[in-house]
Amino acid sequence: MNLLNRNGNDVHSLVGAYAVDAVDADERRMFEEHLRECESCAHEVAELQQTAAILAADAETAPPAGLRESVLREARAVRPNPPVVTPLRRRRPIGGWLLAAAAALLLVIGGIAWHPWTSGTPTVSAAQRILSASDAERYAHRDGSTVVTVVRSPQLKQAAVTTTGLKAAPSGMAYTMWLIDASGKPVDAGQLPPGASGAVTYVLRGDAASATAAAVTMEPAGTNPAAPSSKSIMAMDFSS
């Protein structure tokens, strides 16, 4: 893939700036795509984040006394998210926590999909296969000029999300897809790159055939939430 950024600079060189969040949203997205393919940068990011954590000692300040109680009170009212039980081959091991969770998403640009986790030439679009499957079912969510449609093919056991007029997520956040399993539990289906907007199409991760619904939440970009941290902003019920 293209290793040069918009200034023609080597994308590896963003590693330090990324580790201390000194990148804008475009660079973050670009670098997180790069991190999925570059072991060396992934390793360096982890080390430099570790270094930055030590640096923070220089800022140590006693928090206001009342903060402890409000933090503890708030936590008591919330159940911690369960761990994600991942299939063995789900993800490549990658360093750092702030890598995009989109590793298993197919990013579709202009109808051509590529696997972000493999380098090389674009493959025939898996999204197109789902969108044009003979058994494709469509579940749309409309909000003003925004239309978000989940297209599911039980035969292919896959689903894709396709949007028009999607508003970019707020800075630092990303649309995160969930497939709700038969027991009602949301399973992480991947995250759209933080700057995704307008018309985009992504293939969801996970078994869409056995899912009962899809949902969208807003999560911090690049995180790998074990469960939604907030109420869904969109939900598409497959039984309807």
- The beta strand positions in 4-51, using DSSP E, are none
Query: Which listed residue (172, 198, 199, 212) binds another protein by CB under 8 A?
Result: 172
Answer whether 17's CB lies under 8 Å from 10's CB: no
Question: Please, what is the end-to-end C-alpha distance for the chain in angstroms?
Answer: 41
The contacts of residue 168 (CB under 8 Å, 6+ apart) are: 195, 196, 197
Residue 171 binding: pick among Zn ion, another protein, none (C-beta 5-8 Å cut-off by kind): another protein
Q: How many residues bind another protein (CB under 8 A)?
A: 66
Least spacing, CB of residue 120 vs Zn ion, in Å: 17
Least spacing, CB of residue 181 vs another protein, in Å: 17
Residue 137 binding: pick among another protein, Zn ion, none (C-beta 5-8 Å cut-off by kind): none
- The yes or no reply on residue 41 touching Zn ion (CB under 5 A) is yes
Among residues 55, 105, 50, 108, which one has the least CA distance to residue 222? Answer: 105
- The vertex-106 CA angle with 102 and 111, nearest 5°, equals 140
Answer whether 127's CB lies under 8 Å from 204's CB: no
Residue 41 binding: pick among Zn ion, another protein, none (C-beta 5-8 Å cut-off by kind): Zn ion
Instruction: Mark residues 107-146: x for contact with another protein by CB under 8 A, - for none.
Output: ----------------------------------------
- The beta strand positions in 87-185, using DSSP E, are 106-109, 112-114, 137-143, 146-153, 158-164, 173-180
- The yes or no reply on residue 231 touching another protein (CB under 8 A) is no
In angstroms, the CA 234 to CA 186 distance is 13
The stretch near Zn ion (CB under 5 A) out of 25-33, 35-43, 103-111, 136-144 is: 35-43
Residues in touch with Zn ion (CB under 5 A): 12, 38, 41
Residues in touch with another protein (CB under 8 A): 7, 9, 13-17, 19-24, 27, 43, 46-64, 67-68, 70-72, 74-76, 78-84, 93-98, 170-173, 220, 223-227, 229
